[in-house]
Structure 1
């Protein structure tokens, strides 16, 4: 309520105030009249009335301002109280989260040595598993380039006769346990070229004889196409050996003597009689030919 509205609509409370003012004014007038001349008494009475009126106005204005301020402050305090409550909830939740994070950090710090030990054990176990896998492949020979279907419907009998003939083995027959193409048929994959053949020999010595004869002969040309003989390795060892293929080719072109050791180690024979072993692809890159 504005001051104009307040004074434009006087109520019962205003009448009571005016009545009180009249009583006070009369009392003051009587008091002044008994002690002062008539003119002075009237002037003093008017001053007293003016002062009393000003006091009443100030009191009323102050009261209205106080009420107005109380209303406005209550309107502001309400959303502030709501925000304060929300902040309190957020602080409580953050404290809970911080405690949980602290607990997790403690658990992680405790488990780090155990995890490191488990990783070491797992690495050793994987290395042993890979070693076992490659040992189980020692009696395998991988033949690449043989025309699809050349082995017919009896691949074991075919390779038992075909391998000694194309390699010129003179130390008797070989014993073949299994023979099959690797991977799905070409019509399903859409790839070009024949699939590799995996031949499982009964004796490891036969495997060694075949690989030595293939290396000595170099290129093996047959009626079924140009073929190559390789030792069979696991996928991981095959990947490592493939990564160093370009480096071995560069060594051969440079006339540097080297040997290729299992699993994928290049042993270079230096002119001064020493040797260098390149076990990783980074070692190959760092080696200066």
Structure 2
């Protein structure tokens, strides 16, 4: 089970048009890239130290803008996934073509939820990748739930139960984060291992902030180096 239980931003305000935001960001990146090419060509045609310095400063500014836009795009992607859960370990084809029905029956029993629990699943599917060869790890399920509290309940239940077994297979639950955010979270793995060994209470919260409680005091860290 995962100890990654993210604290998402408040999204109760007006809904955002993520598709339009992404289009705007991509357009801006293309414009910035074209400007960089243009500036580079200009500096090749000029020996002026002043023009070269100005061009270098402009390029540095544009590179910073691109980084900001990429961070914005990644944030939008993770906001779109805020109700998603990624589940690993179920064998291929166990859902018999109906993953929503299978998970609706299997998860409450696996997580020891009340029998009448309705997951309120919007959709569920295997991850989009080539079918694994025999002996390889099966595709994970990606589940989009209608309600954010249900997503949090599934992750919290999996975390509290620890090792989950389904017909001899270990089942793991994770938030369905973007690759960029997953990479940031993985940087904390060595630190988390040390904290577990020393039995220090901690939690990893959205987007990638480690909170440590020690001797009654809680501290937050944005990077593993901190």
> TM-score by structure 1 length?
0.57
Q: 2 CA distance for matches of 1:224 and 1:148?
A: 14
User: Are residues 1:179 and 2:127 paired?
Assistant: no
User: Are residues 1:135 and 2:79 paired?
Assistant: yes
SS state at 1:250 partner: helix
Q: Deviations over 1:137-182 (max 9, x none)?
A: 1111111111122111111221122212211222631122222222
Q: 2 CA distance for matches of 1:270 and 1:204?
A: 30
User: Could you tell me which residue of structure 1 aligns to residue 223 of structure 2?
Assistant: 280
User: Could you tell me which residue of structure 1 aligns to residue 36 of structure 2?
Assistant: none
Q: 1 CA distance for matches of 2:201 and 2:110?
A: 29
Q: Which has the higher strand share?
A: 2
Q: Which has the higher helix share?
A: 1
Does the CA contact (< 8 Å) of 1:150 and 1:224 recur in 2?
no
SS state at 2:93 partner: coil
Q: 2 CA distance for matches of 1:173 and 1:128?
A: 34
Question: 4+ runs of 1 displaced by more than 4 Å?
Answer: none
Counterparts of residues 164-243 of structure 1 (less than 5 Å): 164-170=108-114, 172-182=117-127, 183-187=129-133, 192-223=136-167, 225-243=169-187
User: Could you tell me which residue of structure 1 aligns to residue 12 of structure 2?
Assistant: none
Higher relative contact order (CA 8 A, sep 6+): 2
User: Are residues 1:102 and 2:76 paired?
Assistant: no
Does the CA contact (< 8 Å) of 1:146 and 1:227 recur in 2?
yes
Does the CA contact (< 8 Å) of 1:265 and 1:279 recur in 2?
yes
Q: 1 CA distance for matches of 2:94 and 2:190?
A: 31
User: Could you tell me which residue of structure 1 aligns to residue 21 of structure 2?
Assistant: none
> TM-score by structure 2 length?
0.71
Structure 2 counterpart of 1:149, from 93, 96, 101: 93
Does the CA contact (< 8 Å) of 1:146 and 1:224 recur in 2?
no
Q: Which moved more, 1:245-254 or 1:175-184?
A: 175-184
Q: 2 CA distance for matches of 1:216 and 1:100?
A: 65
Would the alpha carbon gap of residues 100 and 114 (structure 1) be closer, same or farther in structure 2, given more than 3 Å must change? closer
Q: 2 CA distance for matches of 1:259 and 1:209?
A: 16
Q: Deviations over 1:186-211 (max 9, x none)?
A: 12xx8722222111112222211211
Gaps of 5+ in 2: 1-43
Structure 2 counterpart of 1:245, from 179, 189, 202: 189
